[in-house]
Amino acid sequence: MIDNLSRFCSIRGKQMRPARTALLLALAAAPGTAVATDMLPLKQGIYVPANRPCKGASNAEILNYWGKDNSLGVAQASCKIRKLSHQGTRYTITERCTDRQSGSEIAGDPTIVTISSPTSFTTSGTAYRYCGRKVQF
């Protein structure tokens, strides 16, 4: 396979140096090279309380998680993880949240989340489940 790929490693008809070719091939083959790692082991998207249907859940009930350094968020705020620790499936998140309309910072205590699976978690006594990447009206 490398022999087949190396013949494509030319720029403007000139063959690239073997070391540069090897580096490019290694980067292309490395898993996750172009994708940032999510800080929480959750599927990205919308979550609603486990006892509620996905369709028709209100903004007040919905939490979202968009991966990378984003924290669990609500419709009115944008939250970034500043510090994260975990013991087993229990995660303690210190975050910085900003009100989407005013831009002002929202103060808050660390959030404790128990992650049951990539599609379910519990926080503040409420169990949440995954509902996809879009809000269902």
pLDDT in tens, the chain (137 residues): 444 333 333 344 444 444 443 333 333 344 433 345 899 999 999 999 999 999 999 989 999 999 999 999 888 888 999 999 999 999 999 999 999 899 999 888 899 999 999 999 999 999 999 999 988 77
pTM above 0.75, yes or no: no
- For 19, 46, 107, 119, the CA distances from 96, given in Å and listed in that order, are 44, 20, 8, 24
36, two tokens: 């940032």
Tokens read off for 54 = 């996905």
DSSP state of 13: T
State how far the Cα of 42 lies from the Cα of 121, in Å rounded to an integer.
9
